[in-house]
A = this chain, B = another copy of it.
């Protein structure tokens, strides 16, 4: 009740929607999750925390101006891609990837426009996938991120620092041995990298934020990060990339999406999600190599590709119990609703 009143209030409502937008990056339609995640980002860098809010605001205000569905806006669904677009544009143009840099005025206009375009891209991809009951995921961000990152390098008015962050496994040494810190730092960083935070402690704070709303979600996120990291370790991926969480962030997202959120949580969908996480780990390397000649980062493209490949045909497999995006609230709710029906 009290929370619903906040949502309806003109002044406080906006704060609620914004925090939900941050939470939605990791499928959490919950302002407290969003707040903890934002604090986690703040722990790493105040610049990124501010940019994250700017991104959510830009894309959500665009949705309001275009008179999009109020329910979707309130659930933060127009915000999370905007947040990621803004974060990625700062992350890959800053001298220091870890802390980010304050954008120039030209860059600021540019990233606000990118975040705004993500709102239209979200509506378009949702329209295309609507008949198949599959969500756009972070594809709007991946698409806009790639398109806007490329152009940046060609305009004098935007001072793009050297891409400080290696974007491909090639750029890491293979001789470094895998040690204990590789594991706990790599797994934490995997979760941090979802928000471009190269900080393993931030990763674990984000995990706490997820757990506030959904234990299953947090569990799958952690497990996905572990699987992605383990696959890379077993198959001999470079230690530096593993420790930076690069093999794990797509795997963590895939595990959350398939393990309870868009499929009712059963032991079959659990195995399905683990399989998806392993594939996401492998394919991060794949897409990185594909994009390397043009110096583009993978973003969350692997997560989207694997999850779409494993969800669009979901109704063909009777072993899975699909949850349409409009009904997907949390793994726990999905389970309860399904039990009620069964």
Bound: A65/B268 CA distance, A: 9
Chain A 103-151 residues near chain B, CB threshold 8 A: 106, 110, 113, 116-117, 120-128, 131-132, 143, 146-151
Bound: A116/B285 CA distance, A: 19
Bound: A326/B227 CA distance, A: 39
Whether, in the assembled complex, A283 has its beta carbon less than 8 Å from a beta carbon of chain B, the answer is: yes
Partner of A237, one of B154, B278, B290, B316: B154
Number of copies: 3
Chain A interface residue number, banded: 35 or more
Whether, in the assembled complex, A235 has its beta carbon less than 8 Å from a beta carbon of chain B, the answer is: yes
Most buried by B among A127, A153, A158, A174: A127
Contact B317 A282 (CB under 8 A): no
Contact B294 A290 (CB under 8 A): yes
Whether, in the assembled complex, A287 has its beta carbon less than 8 Å from a beta carbon of chain B, the answer is: yes
Q: Which residues of B contact A122 (CB under 8 A)?
A: 313
Q: Which residues of B contact A148 (CB under 8 A)?
A: 282-283, 286
Contact B169 A154 (CB under 8 A): yes
Q: How far is the CB of A72 from chain B (nearest CB, A)?
A: 8
Contact A290 B150 (CB under 8 A): yes
Whether, in the assembled complex, A311 has its beta carbon less than 8 Å from a beta carbon of chain B, the answer is: yes
Q: Which residues of B contact A110 (CB under 8 A)?
A: 235, 282
Write out, one digit per residue, whether chain A residues 290-314 have a CB within 8 A of any chain B CB (1) or not (0): 1001100000000001001111111
Contact A66 B317 (CB under 8 A): yes
Contact B286 A155 (CB under 8 A): no
Q: Which residue of B lies closest to A313 (CB)?
A: B123
Q: Which residues of B contact A184 (CB under 8 A)?
A: none
Most buried by B among A116, A131, A317: A317
Write out, one digit per residue, whether chain A residues 306-342 have a CB within 8 A of any chain B CB (1) or not (0): 0011111111111110000000000000000000000
Whether, in the assembled complex, A275 has its beta carbon less than 8 Å from a beta carbon of chain B, the answer is: yes
Contact A309 B69 (CB under 8 A): no
User: Nearest 10 A-B pairs (CB), nearest first?
Assistant: A123-B313, A156-B236, A124-B312, A150-B286, A67-B318, A151-B286, A124-B313, A66-B317, A123-B316, A155-B235
Contact surface of A with B, Cβ cutoff 8 Å: 65-69, 106, 110, 113, 116-117, 120-128, 131-132, 143, 146-151, 153-158, 169-170, 174, 232, 234-237, 275, 278-279, 282-283, 285-290, 293-294, 305, 308-320
Could you pull out 7 A-B pairs where Cβ atoms are within 8 angstroms? Answer: A65-B319, A120-B313, A126-B316, A148-B282, A155-B235, A158-B236, A289-B294
